[in-house]
Chain A
Amino acid sequence: SQTIHQWPATLVQPVGSPLSLECTVEGTSNPNLYWYRQAAGRGLQLLFYSVGIGQISSEVPQNLSASRPQDRQFILSSKKLLLSDSGFYLCAWSPRTGWNQPQHFGDGTRLSIL
């Protein structure tokens, strides 16, 4: 069966510090991968998605970047965090093939910027 792992679960970082959040998927190959941010009491905002190694699409201009160095690894980064980067970050995957595929989410990283 497929599983998705995100870490760390919680993170407290000072303003201006760098960020690296990691997501890995097991039990499937060539998945589509996604990074979302969820502000308190709100829905999910798609930040990045990837359909293959090295292929990253950005949905919103921001202080963050994403990379996919391996097929089942997706990394969210920032060189200098802003207060507005606080939130709940979720990674998800979906099967590459076929239409009408659901997404499967990790348990998220709660990021607090001080």
Chain B
Amino acid sequence: SQQGEEDPQALSIQEGENATMNCSYKTSINNLQWYRQNSGRGLVHLILIRSNEREKHSGRLRVTLDTSKKSSSLLITASRAADTASYFCATDAGSGYSTLTFGKGTMLLVSP
């Protein structure tokens, strides 16, 4: 079953704009992760935020986590055409085996 649900399903912006994607989940988690998938390729890990963290940055990426609302957001600042991809959140419920439950993803299109 899929625990994470991303919103919006699709997002279209211009280069230089910021892109914000949201993720909601249902059960308690150990951490939440964001991945990027270019068309027809495997997933690439972007950032991991632990359940006791509220915000994390990596380059142009900013992730927030609100465990009380069971939600997370991914902000990509100053988007580039190369950021065009699908973005997935995934939750680790702390099984000890790092198994993840993925959402359906947000498809981001950045136009030049």
Residues on A close to B: CB < 8 A?
6, 32, 34, 36, 41-46, 49, 51, 57, 59, 90, 92, 94, 99-108, 110
Contact = CB atoms under 8 A, between A and B. Distances in A.
A105 B48 contact: no
B51 to A, nearest CB: 9
Main secondary structure of the interface of A (DSSP, over half): strand
Contacts of B92: 100
A100 B30 contact: yes
Interface string B71-93: 00000000000000000101010
| Interface size, B (range) | 20 to 34
B105 A43 contact: yes
Given A43-B105, A51-B97, A107 B50 contact: no
Contacts of A101: 98
Contact of A43 (B4, B40, B48): B4
